[in-house]
């Protein structure tokens, strides 16, 4: 009987260990886009970590959507 | 740098849904979730117009204003993103958004609603750039790869423009001035507010299109 009570007591105490904290997760800081992705798909033409070169790259890529000869 | 913007040229969009497909493929978006979709006005009527719609990354985003757990944030480039580790999937943002951008994956027998998912302007989320963790939660981070959103870059008719607001507004303005019509930019006024001098300005008329029968 004593043993059973001990097991039940330990089980009740251990059950609390599985409880997730009810606190709100803190908002994580996001990495800057110009810090470059850590994968092999990074486009050439700009320098990782250099904001100015990344912004220039964005402008060049945006101009690629321009059809200079067909503006209708 | 100006803010990152999308503009859809309704005179050019042919409702091919290529942008929708590109987005789903690039980010492996689950069934039932469409970060981007094409809306057609006056479908089947001569003169019908189609527009590709996703999150407009509003300057004064209503989703950010109503979120009870404050999971949204705006990047230096003006892209509105959210932290899925904080989102509780309440759906308030969905009611607040005038563009229907927030999407909620459903699964299981009872259609359990998951955490909100939306267009990220291919900018990932609050995880290390280009990692598997970021990809699984938010999709590909193309901006950190030096690329622009897949939907805009692959648009076959160049109707959907995305990128630096100054650049895409210039491209669009040139078209409007050449064709002499079609200056209405759907959603521009609502999403981006009044243009401030030197950024995103230059589009001649920024009034929403006149109300017409809508079919999505």
User: Which CATH number does the domain housing residue B171 bear?
Assistant: 3.30.70.20
Task: With beta carbons under 8 A apart, name residues in chain A contacting B77.
Answer: 33
B132: left (phi over 0), alpha (psi -120 to 50) or beta: alpha
Tokens encoding B134: 């970021």
Helix (H, G, I), strand (E, B) or coil at B65: helix
- Total number of domains in chain B: 1
Query: Rounded to whole angstroms, how far apart are CA atoms B186 and B159?
Result: 12
Return the residue matching tokens 């043993």: A3
Which of A31, A46, A72 lies closest to B146 in CB terms?
Answer: A46
Pairing of strands B80-82, B106-107: unpaired
Tell me the ipTM for this assembly: 0.81
- Residue B113: predicted pLDDT: 79
Residue B208 has pLDDT above 50, yes or no: no
Give the list of residues 6+ apart from residue A67 with CB closer than 8 angstroms, or none: B158
Which of these ranges, B55-69, B131-145, B173-187, B192-206, has the smallest mean pLDDT?
B192-206
Which of B123, B131, B158 lies closest to A65 in CB terms?
Answer: B158
Residue B127 gets which letter from DSSP?
Answer: S
Inter-chain contact B70–A54, Cβ cutoff 8 Å? no
Residues A3-61 pLDDT 10s: 888 888 887 777 766 666 666 678 888 999 999 998 899 999 999 999 999 999 999 99
Residues B43-71 pLDDT 10s: 999 989 999 999 999 988 999 999 999 99
Residue B31 domain boundaries: 4-215
Which of A25, A43, A65 lies closest to B147 in CB terms?
Answer: A43
Distance from CA of residue B141 to its chain's centroid? 15
- CB of A24 within 8 Å of any CB in chain B? yes
Instruction: Let me know the angle formed at the C-alpha of B79 by B74 and B82, rounded to the nearest 5 degrees.
Output: 55
Tokens encoding A58: 């964005």
Return the residue matching tokens 């067909």: A70
Give chain B's contact residues with A (Cβ, < 8 Å).
1, 4, 11, 69-71, 73, 75-77, 81, 83, 85-86, 123-131, 141, 143-148, 152-153, 155, 158, 161-164, 167-168, 171, 174-175, 178-179
Query: Rounded to whole angstroms, how far apart are CA atoms A72 and B179?
Result: 6
pTM: 0.81
Inter-chain contact B174–A42, Cβ cutoff 8 Å? no
Helices (H), chain A: 2-15, 51-63
- Residue B205: predicted pLDDT: 42
Q: Is the dihedral of CA B47, B48, B49, B50 positive or negative?
A: negative
- Residue B154: predicted pLDDT: 95
Distance from CA of residue A50 to its chain's centroid? 20
């Amino acid at each position: 009987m004593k043993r059973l009570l001990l097991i039940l007591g330990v089980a009740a105490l251990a059950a609390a260990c599985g409880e997730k904290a009810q606190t709100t997760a803190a908002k994580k800081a996001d990495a800057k886009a110009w810090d470059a992705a850590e994968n092999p798909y990074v486009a050439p033409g700009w320098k990782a970590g250099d904001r100015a070169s990344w912004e220039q790259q964005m402008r060049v890529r945006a101009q690629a959507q321009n059809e200079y000869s067909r503006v209708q | 740098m100006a803010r990152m913007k999308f503009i859809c040229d309704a005179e050019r969009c042919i409702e091919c849904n290529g942008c929708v497909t590109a987005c789903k493929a690039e980010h492996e978006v689950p069934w039932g979730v469409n970060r981007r979709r094409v809306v057609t006005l006056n479908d089947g009527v001569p003169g019908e117009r189609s527009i590709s719609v996703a999150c407009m990354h509003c300057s004064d985003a209503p989703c950010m204003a109503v979120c009870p757990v404050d999971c949204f944030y705006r990047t230096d480039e003006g892209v509105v993103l959210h932290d899925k580790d904080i989102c509780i999937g309440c759906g308030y943002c969905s009611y607040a958004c005038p563009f229907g951008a927030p999407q909620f994956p459903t699964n299981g027998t009872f259609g359990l609603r998951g955490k909100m998912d939306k267009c990220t302007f291919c900018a990932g989320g609050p995880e290390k750039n280009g990692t598997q963790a970021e990809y699984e939660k938010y999709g590909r981070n193309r901006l950190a790869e030096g690329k622009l959103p897949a939907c805009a870059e692959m648009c076959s008719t160049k109707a959907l423009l995305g990128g630096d607001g100054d650049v895409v507004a210039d491209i669009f303005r040139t078209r409007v001035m050449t064709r002499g019509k079609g200056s209405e930019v759907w959603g521009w006024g609502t999403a981006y507010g009044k243009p401030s001098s030197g950024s995103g300005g230059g589009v001649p008329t920024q009034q929403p299109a006149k109300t017409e029968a809508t079919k999505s």
